[in-house]
Chains A and B, each alone.
Chain A
């Protein structure tokens, strides 16, 4: 067993490193530190950021891959999440089954002992019935224990000695940041996840799909796809938008004309069509270069990477336009003139004096774009220009499940699962970005 890095793994961990470094730099200045404290003083922002952290944790857990050498010569690539869910990943039922069901959803014709064929609901293979109560108890107990441990540790760390006083303040909700809300949401999420996880050993908690695959597992695996598209796209967008936007605003003249021409041209092409054109080209390119990937998982990963790059290249124009306008404004201000008079070089002025004054626009656009990108993934998969059809994603789940609604009786759980998983993530992201915008946007400073 050895560590194996997919392309997107490398990028997502690079993004984590960039975010940690950037966050550290931001928090060094007391002004922006104060801004972030203000953001998290809102209970809604605190609660939604806890939810986002859970999603991020699952995405990261699913971004550590190992190559496992099997005795039969195969070497599948599995992630930490796959290992934790191995009991669902490696065993699948025959066909549809409802959440927590013990039997299949449709009758099958079997031949009984007397040689007569009868219709019967067959029992599921990998379900141990009668575990409802004991499993739930174990799950809830374990969840409570884990939540208690984490919250207790955090309480002790924040208390800095005065455990009693601090505990009282938390319970009454009198802390500077709404820790009571944070602990509440954390405990709730932990309980729910651990309960579902424990139950998934004896049941298919969200049912199974057409070929018997576990829907809960598929929905969990889809988290990585959604979160990656939402975050990595910004990693592509930011350098382009910042470099071009600041250059256009600072140099003006022909540089400005050229960059303005570039983004006007790009933004005049309808977004979905540009993405579709890019993805179509990428498909042909990948068909002609089968040597780029060794396995299906690497192939779908490469396709995800290309999709992210295409999304990034097509979506930097809006941010670039805003950064250009703001740079035009800042470049006329006294401190820039002073820096010029001191003989500071152009690039240094841009990096040290202009870009730091643009951080609020950049941060707002990162959080604003995230939910839109997660939703866009579903639409793109439906149009047929999204992630690889073999990849777990909410878009693919919806796409496969929409025809099941026409069945009689309806198979609703695949749609339900993707709906809930997406809705919670996008809702949390929207609520959080509202708050970030409210605090960081100087127009709201009054």
Chain B
């Protein structure tokens, strides 16, 4: 197990280098630092001297991959790629274009992101699985059919409408919860309720459909027939046999997103004014702050790879047939 995990972590290194290379190419080769300087300083009235000064200030004045002016190991290390990209491996995100410490910002903003993302994830998981099991229990009935129709309809509405409708109904018309904002202690509950409720509802359609199809795949298997033949009630069959056997596909889809919960939700956070990583990213995109976007891309990839490793580990916990 430990050997497997270490092996997987080593496998992750080339992938992360690849991620770095892609972002590096996007950010430095398609657009040279000169272009970035012009974009940051304003288009027309920039002189070559101003551009050079901006580049020197940001450390963007070095060559891309190979520095001919220095010798020895320096000719490879004193380059943009090593300075701007490989440093990320040490989680040294450097300063944003607005000269703020990115690592500090990320640390401070993880909490609010999790305060929304974690409850949404857990509540959605429990609701979706319970509803799916209920529908599988009544499969083929009018309830099942009409629930599927409703599920497709829920899926067909853009998430933006749920947020807007939720804010108008619950905050503007009925004044149940404040429209946006955030507090970090328990008083902040009132800010969290609506985004979580909307997040759960928006994912209801696709979630219930997905879990239902997983359970339906199991329901016609031989072991289910055997269980029924033993005289088990349908509910016992569902909970004792179908649910555990559906665990593997569920884990495949679910565990991988758990680490990414740290990244928060872009849309939800910016609509509700939550100072998390999602709104941080959106602000960076709107301000064209490349350093932050680059850091978030790297962080996202790391978390995704952690998710993949966790998925494999979770298999061994839930399925005794799997050994690593």
Tell me the A residues contacting B by CB distance below 8 Å: 261-262, 264-270, 272-274, 276-278, 280-281, 283-285, 287-288, 371, 375, 378-379, 382-385, 394, 398, 402, 405-406, 410, 415, 419, 422-423, 426-427, 430-431, 434
Contacts and interface: CB of A to CB of B under 8 A. Distances in A.
Contacts of B263: 270
A273 B26 contact: no
Given A269-B23, A287-B43, 8 more contacts: A261-B18, A270-B301, A273-B293, A284-B39, A383-B267, A384-B282, A426-B156, A431-B152
Main secondary structure of the interface of B (DSSP, over half): helix
Given A382-B267, A405-B168, A419-B161, A280 B285 contact: yes
B288 interface: yes
B152 A427 contact: yes
Chain B interface bracket (under 10, 10 to 19, 20 to 34, 35 or more): 35 or more
A131 to B, nearest CB: 32
A140 B185 CA distance: 60
A268 B305 contact: yes
Contact of A410 (B38, B159, B168): B168
B160 A277 contact: no
Contact of B158 (A270, A280, A379, A410): A379
Interface of B: 14-15, 18-19, 22-23, 26-27, 30-31, 35-36, 38-39, 43, 152-153, 155-161, 164, 167-168, 172, 260, 263, 266-267, 281-282, 285-286, 288, 290, 293-294, 296-297, 300-301, 304-305
Contacts of B23: 269, 277
B39 A277 contact: no
A52 to B, nearest CB: 13
B27 A269 contact: no
Contacts of A406: 172
B104 to A, nearest CB: 20
Contacts, number: 123
A384 B152 contact: no
A416 to B, nearest CB: 10
B297 A278 contact: no
21 contacts: A261-B14, A265-B19, A265-B22, A267-B304, A269-B23, A270-B297, A270-B301, A272-B266, A276-B285, A277-B26, A285-B35, A287-B43, A378-B158, A379-B159, A384-B282, A402-B160, A402-B164, A405-B172, A419-B157, A423-B156, A430-B156
A426 B304 CA distance: 29
Given A273-B293, A422-B158, A281 B164 contact: no
A445 to B, nearest CB: 13
A39 B298 CA distance: 44
For the complex of A and B, list the 8 residue pairs with the smallest distance between their C-beta atoms, beginning with the closest.
A265-B18, A270-B300, A427-B156, A426-B156, A268-B301, A268-B304, A378-B158, A284-B31
B123 to A, nearest CB: 22
Given A266-B22, A419-B157, A274 B297 contact: yes
A393 B279 CA distance: 23
A281 B31 contact: yes
Contact of B152 (A268, A273, A375, A430): A430
A265 to B, nearest CB: 4
Contacts of A398: 158, 160-161, 164
B31 A276 contact: no
A276 B35 CA distance: 17
Contacts of B281: 273, 276
Nearest to A422: B158
Given A276-B285, A383-B285, A415 B164 contact: yes
B296 A273 contact: yes
B27 A423 contact: no
A172 B30 CA distance: 63
